[in-house]
Structure formats: C-alpha cells, structure tokens
Structure 1
Amino acid sequence: MHITSDLAQTLRPTAVAIGNFDGLHLGHQKVLQPIRDSLQGVRTVLTFHPHPQEVLTRRPQLLLTPPAEKLDLLAQMGFEQVVLLPFTPAFACQPPQEFIQTVLEQGLRVRHLSVGWDFCFGHRRSGNAQTLQAWGSERCIPVEVIPETKLNGERVSSSRIRAALATGEVSTAEALLGRPYRLTGEVVQGDQRGRQLGFPTANLRLPPEKFLPRDGVYSVWVDVPAAAAALPGVMNIGHRPTFAGLQHTVEVHLLDWTGDLYGQEVRVALRGFIRPERRFPTVADLIQQIQQDCQTARQQLGLAEQVGMV
C-alpha cells in the first residue's frame, strides 16, 4: 500500500474516500466500501493528520486508531493508497473551492468520490457533501454521499464508541466497530510484580495517543508472534492501588502459556469487562481475586470447562 503525505507523490488518477476515519467503525466502512470496490482509479483513502479536532481545539486528541493501526487496517481492507494530508490552521482556513482544485483535481485527479453525509471542509466548514456532488455533476464524476449509519436506533460514531469504552461496555464498542477493540503495543520490562504473585504479566507500551478503556480488569484474546492462534488472557489497566502504584500501566496475563515476549509486539482484543480496579487490604486477598478473575475470563472467553484447572 502506497502511503504519502505529499500530493505530488500520489498515484493517479484515483477513486477516493475522504474522512477522519478514527476507529474505522461500521459507518466509516460504509463510506469506504464504494471505493474499495471501485474500478475507476487507484483505490485511495484521504485522511488527515493530526486529527482536525486537535488542531482546532489545540488540545491533544486520543484516538481509537492511531496512525499505524489505521494504516494496518486499511491495508487489510485492500486499499492501494493512503494520503495522510497534513491538517494545519492554514489548511483549515482555505476556501472550499481551493481544496477541490488543489487536492481533488490537481493532487489526486479524482475519478470517483465517496464521503459521509456530514462531511464538511474549507473555511468555517462552508463546503459540504452537497458542494462535492455539485462539483462532480459538472465534471461527470460520481460522488457518493453515504447516509447516517445507525445501530439499534442510535447513530454509529467514534464518540459513542469512546463513551462505551469509558464505562467498560466492551460488547457495545465491538458492535459499533464491527470487530473487537484492540490495543497493540510492545512488551517492555515491568517491575515483575505479577510474577512475584504467581501471575506473570506482559507490560505493554502503547502509542501515547491511543484511547484506553476504563481502568479495570478485562478478558482478552492476545495475538503473539510465537503462537499460531490467539491466546486467552486477563488484562489489567490502572495504577495497581494495592501497591500504591503511581504509573498507569496496561498488563496482560496469558492463561496456560509461558514464554519470553520482551521486545515483541502483541495485539490484545477486548472480550469482556470483569471488574473495576480496586485496592485490596492484603496481598493474599489480591491473589484470591486474581484467581477469580481468571475463572471469570475463562467463562467470558468460552473456556468455562477449564475453570477447574485454575
């Protein structure tokens, strides 16, 4: 997949889907589908970096899919090119017609376009999907405007997914995404606390802009390089209050598996929320609770018949 931030380096002509696409959820997938199937040019996704809200609000934006994760998912979907267009205050202030001329016509030579119903662009969001449809009509370029996607009567959106994850509603987030919510990171050295308790954990270093679900304990499936299939596990997100922890960590204990993962990248798919993080009066109480967490994780992962092995 060709990746560029320079319009002069794009493969042309193109069939293009435009959007922020943070999360690549069910609504985004519907915008992407016409271009994924298009035969009218290099199948291209035009997205923006950094996230426009980060530039407009001047506040860091936590992302459901940081750039590397988004690119990996788009490659899996079969796209041939991704243009990561730099989003700057100057870019945000350009007139809609300038965006059309410099980006769509000159930079991409668009032959097929797909956007969501609420897509806006240009100074004060004065350009919209209807602007693009009028432009396409004048040039005999098909412009598809994808209507709002709903699930159970409510709009599918990145903000709704964040809200679900913030309350531990893993199944809701998965339904909106069309896949489990995943955390991808490198296994780094921790303080070995889990090993001392009899439950060794892989301590994950994640992209700093990755949106994390609420602190607590989760059942997860884990892809590791040494395993042919995903492994069951228990993940803890938080500060480990029993030990007065100060650092926020993401740690995964793999059930019925041992091995050295240091320096390797693993991918964790959330299956279910088990409980909030809390402080235990004694280490023995914590160990007892971890044993129970492992049993609950087996049940949530469909491994209930192995509960007696814990």
Structure 2
Amino acid sequence: MWITSCLETVKTPTVVALGNFDGVHPGHQTVIEPVWLAAQQFRATCAVGSGAIAPVPTVVTFHPHPREFFTGKRRDLLTPLAEKVAQLKPLGVAQLVRLPFDHDLSCLSPEAFVEQILVRSLAAQEISVGENFCFGHKRAGTAEDLRAIAARYDIPVHIVPMYTLDGERVSSSTIRDYLQQGLVRPAARLLGRPYMLVGDVVKGQQLGRSLGFPTANLCLPEEKFLPRLGVYAVRVWVQNEAFPNALVLPPADPARQPQPGVMNLGYRPTVDGSQRQVEVHLLDWAGDLYGKTLVVGLEAFLRAEQKFDSLDALKAQIQQDCDQARSLLTTSP
C-alpha cells in the first residue's frame, strides 16, 4: 500500500473514501466498499489498450485527528497507522493519504476543499462518505453538500447510511466507551473482531519469571487507545517471521494459531510500580519472545487491578487468573 502525507506524491487518478476510519469497523468498511467496487468495475469494463489509467482505490484521512488539532489534546487511536494499514489492505485499498490537518486545511471552505483537494490534487473520479460526514471550515459542509459540489465536476458521490448492528449504531466512540468499561466482548461485536494490542516485546524487571509466571512486556505505539486497567484473558499471535516488517493481523493469516494467555494492564501496585505496563503471560509457551512482535486479542475482562498484601498472595491470584482464562478460552470460540 502506498502511504503518503504529501499531495504532490499521491498516485492519481483515484476513487476516494473520505473519513477518519479509526478502528476500521464494519461501518467504515461499508464506506470503503464502493471505492473498491468502482476500481474493479473500471478494470472489468475498460478495453485493453485503451490507454485509460485505472483509478487507485484510496482512503483519505486526516492527521492529526481534527479534534486533536482544535483541542490541543492527543486523541488516542483504536488503530494506529500500522494497524490501520493492516486492516485496510484486505479491503482492497491500495493507497492511504493522510492529509495534514493544519490551519490552512481547516480554513478551506467546502467548495475550496473539493476543488483543491479532491479535484486538483487527487483527481477523484468517485467519492464515498458516510451520511454524517462533515467537511470544510467549521464543518460547514455536509455529505449532501459534497454531492452537490462534486456534481459540478461530474464526480459521483456515494453517501453510505449509518451502519447499525441489532439496532445499535456502530461507531468508534461507542467502541471506546465499551473498552473503557472493560466490556471487551460488546466492543468486539461492534468492531467485528477482538480489540487488539500490537507491540514489540522488550525487557522488563522479570518479576513475573521470579513468581513462576514469565511475562512478555509489550511496547505499544504511544497513541494506542488502552482499555480499562486490569487483567484480561487473551489470545496471542506471534508476528509472522516470514514477513517481519509487514504486520499481518488475524484472521488474514489463518495458518497462524493463537496462544492462550493472560494480560495485565496497569501499574503493578503490589510492587510499587510507577509506570503503566502491558504484560502478557502465555499459558502454553516455552521460548524466547524478546524482540518479537505480538498481536494480543482481548477476549474477556477478568478483574480490576488491585494491590496484594504479599507476593505470595499475588502469585496465588495470578494462578487463579490463569485457570480462569484457560477455562474461558477453551469454552469460547
């Protein structure tokens, strides 16, 4: 996938899905689908040797998130860049354009945004957005405004209705709310997959090893959105060593089987920890994980983080956590 933040290096012409797409949940996927279909239709109908250039299926998003730009507060992401790319690839997206959201872009009128960005820079042939999409200065432009303005340039706009599941709106904010409460299964239902933490294994204090439960300490992207602090039953995939520099998320690579595990997310109050850490204990693993990338899928919230009176009490609780996780992971699909 071609990734760029510079409009001068965009591959054109394009068919464009516009939005933030944090999470790449099923609602986002319905917005992206018309882009892939348009590119496929072009290839199916364009005569060989005609000289026509096939449009590039493109997702256009904003970096930083507009809300982060206006508030000055970092907005943690369900899918940081590497995860977003890994989720977009199976959808047929060939290009990701991360528009730098700055003062100049925020001041563009809806008409100027279409003319300067979509027409001139992206050479968009078709556009797809969700029905709640807003753009331009002070979010003045609606999806219907986009359709009307783009029509002046003979560019069709697909306006995709809000996606619901069993009557519930599927949105990134709702998924965040569930995760903040430790409700990982409702979050997974809306995401269409377990919520995942992806990070490299780094050396820690090896306290878990001394207790008989060796853990892999994960270094996550700084902007990764974290769920409620506590202990989780998880499934863990070790990054495919055949493609060490290409993140492949399950189930895209069905040959990779997950390992059952327990994850602790928190400050380790029993040992007076001062920094938030993500530690994963694999229930059926023997081997060196240092330097490897782990994909950790959250399956169930087991308990909140707590401080124990002694290391023996902590050790006993960890054993209970492992037993509970094994039982849950064995009985759930």
1:291 aligns with 2:319: yes
Q: Which amino acid aligns with 1:170?
A: V
The answer for the alignment partner of 1:11 in structure 2 is 11
- State how far apart, in whole Å, the 2-side matches of 1:59 and 1:136 are: 33
- State how far apart, in whole Å, the 1-side matches of 2:288 and 2:94 are: 36
Q: Please say if residues 238 and 250 of structure 1, whose CA atoms lie closer than 8 Å, have aligned partners that are also in contact.
A: yes
The answer for the alignment partner of 1:126 in structure 2 is 140
Q: Deviation at 1:120?
A: 0.8
The answer for the alignment partner of 1:245 in structure 2 is 273
Q: Which amino acid aligns with 2:34?
A: P
- State how far apart, in whole Å, the 2-side matches of 1:151 and 1:281 are: 45
Q: TM-score, normalised by structure 1?
A: 0.94
Q: Please say if residues 56 and 89 of structure 1, whose CA atoms lie closer than 8 Å, have aligned partners that are also in contact.
A: no
- State how far apart, in whole Å, the 2-side matches of 1:10 and 1:273 are: 43
1:301 aligns with 2:329: yes
- State how far apart, in whole Å, the 2-side matches of 1:20 and 1:216 are: 29
Stretch deviating more after TM superposition (262-271 or 195-204): 262-271
- State how far apart, in whole Å, the 1-side matches of 2:179 and 2:155 are: 39
Alignment of 1:134-283 (within 5 A): 134-225=148-239, 228-283=256-311
- State how far apart, in whole Å, the 2-side matches of 1:128 and 1:252 are: 44
Task: Give the 3 Å change call, closer, same or farther, for CA 110–296 of structure 1 in structure 2.
Answer: same
Q: Deviation at 1:73?
A: 1.4
Q: Which amino acid aligns with 1:125?
A: R
SS of equivalent residue, structure 1 residue 127: coil
Quick one: which of 74, 86, 89 aligns to 2:88? Answer: 74
Q: Deviation at 1:167?
A: 0.6
1:99-126 per-position Cα deviation (integer Å, ceiling 9, x unaligned): 1111110111111110011111111111
- State how far apart, in whole Å, the 1-side matches of 2:234 and 2:79 are: 18
SS of equivalent residue, structure 1 residue 207: coil
The answer for the alignment partner of 1:307 in structure 2 is none
SS of equivalent residue, structure 1 residue 53: helix
Q: Please say if residues 131 and 143 of structure 2, whose CA atoms lie closer than 8 Å, have aligned partners that are also in contact.
A: yes
Query: How many residues are paired up?
Result: 304
Q: Deviation at 1:151?
A: 2.3
Q: Which amino acid aligns with 2:154?
A: C
Q: Which runs of 5+ in 2 are unaligned?
A: 43-54, 242-254
Q: Percent identity?
A: 52
The answer for the alignment partner of 1:20 in structure 2 is 20
- State how far apart, in whole Å, the 2-side matches of 1:38 and 1:181 are: 30
Q: Please say if residues 239 and 248 of structure 1, whose CA atoms lie closer than 8 Å, have aligned partners that are also in contact.
A: yes
Task: Give the 3 Å change call, closer, same or farther, for CA 251–71 of structure 1 in structure 2.
Answer: same
SS of equivalent residue, structure 1 residue 214: coil
SS of equivalent residue, structure 2 residue 194: coil
Alignment of 1:64-103 (within 5 A): 64-103=78-117
- State how far apart, in whole Å, the 2-side matches of 1:32 and 1:300 are: 35
1:24-61 per-position Cα deviation (integer Å, ceiling 9, x unaligned): 11211111111122224210000111111110111111
The answer for the alignment partner of 1:308 in structure 2 is none
Q: TM-score, normalised by structure 2?
A: 0.88
SS of equivalent residue, structure 1 residue 212: coil
Q: Deviation at 1:228?
A: 4.1
Q: Please say if residues 111 and 149 of structure 2, whose CA atoms lie closer than 8 Å, have aligned partners that are also in contact.
A: no
SS of equivalent residue, structure 1 residue 269: strand
- State how far apart, in whole Å, the 2-side matches of 1:239 and 1:58 are: 26
SS of equivalent residue, structure 2 residue 117: helix
Runs of 4 or more, structure 1, over 6 Å off, are none
Q: Please say if residues 33 and 91 of structure 2, whose CA atoms lie closer than 8 Å, have aligned partners that are also in contact.
A: no
- State how far apart, in whole Å, the 2-side matches of 1:93 and 1:139 are: 22
Q: Please say if residues 114 and 150 of structure 2, whose CA atoms lie closer than 8 Å, have aligned partners that are also in contact.
A: no
Q: Please say if residues 222 and 232 of structure 1, whose CA atoms lie closer than 8 Å, have aligned partners that are also in contact.
A: yes
The answer for the alignment partner of 1:109 in structure 2 is 123
1:180-238 per-position Cα deviation (integer Å, ceiling 9, x unaligned): 11001110110000000000000000011101000111111111146942111100000
SS of equivalent residue, structure 2 residue 78: coil
- State how far apart, in whole Å, the 2-side matches of 1:23 and 1:119 are: 16
Q: Deviation at 1:18?
A: 0.3
Q: Which amino acid aligns with 2:9?
A: Q
Q: Deviation at 1:303?
A: 5.7
